Amino acid sequence: MAKALDQLLDLLDLEQIEVNIFRGRSPDDRRQRVFGGQVAGQALVAAGRTVPADRPVHSLQAYFIRPGDPAVPIVYLVDRVRDGGSFTTRRVSAVQHGETIFTLSASFHRPEPGPEHADPMPESPPPELVERMWEDSPIDLRSVGPMSAEAARDPSLRTTRNLIWLRVDGDLPDDPLLHVCLMTYASDMTLLDSLLTGHGLSWADGRTSGASLDHAMWFHRPFRADRWLLYAQESPVAYGARGLAHGQVFTAEGELVVSVMQEGLIRIRTQISGN
């Protein structure tokens, strides 16, 4: 998987074309639209490159406004909203064809001491005992189960909860911004499945379609994306063709390091049979 990982790292290595202006591209994999995790990860790279290294990102809020065109570059415009004593705020707009397709606001915080507590990690078999999902992906994903396609076939598996082990398939340099950007990329890969599994729906069933509407992340502690992380996902509510998905990311040692929230659009095409 060294080649696949190199390609992903290359996607996140944006070209700086002017102060506060960066350019990214999409992989040549014939997707109809840009993968949401890609544009979120690239936007966070753009924001992070305008912030001192001693201020790690602690949160981001993003909106997917228009489908991205994978055939043309994406221009990222960074607005340096605030540089305070403890916090730094950046706003990023992703632009294609003269229109904004995505916006992200990110906050960076100088580390300081404070009270500590966290939810415990859910029980799960170790990743070594779970089958890998996709062999050709730079992100090693292992579903404890179920995934949407499995629940669509077997009603007994239907649930709005899922556990995923994940890690980047290779060793990464000691760059904290790179690790959080890769987790941002990976966080969008399976989260909306939690909206489908309780209803017997699947992205591959020929009638279900959807898209990410917004995405929020909070980074609580340092972590490495090239070490095993448990991504606990659930959907507390779905209504009116929209559903909310929630994720918590734990290290293999049980530390809660990232929280994720996303609202997704889920549409089901009904088939009308004639007489």
Instruction: Give catalytic residue positions.
Output: 188, 212, 262
H or E stretch at 9: helix 2-12
Which tokens go with 20?
């506060």
218 in Cβ contact with 248 (< 8 Å): no
172 in Cβ contact with 224 (< 8 Å): yes
Which tokens go with 130?
């779970």
Alpha-carbon torsion 19, 26, 3, 229, what sign? positive
The DSSP line for 193-255 is: HHHHGGGT--TTSSSEEEEEEEEEEEE-S---TTS-EEEEEEEEEEETTEEEEEEEEEETTS-
106 strand-pairing partners: 60, 90
Residues in the chain: 275
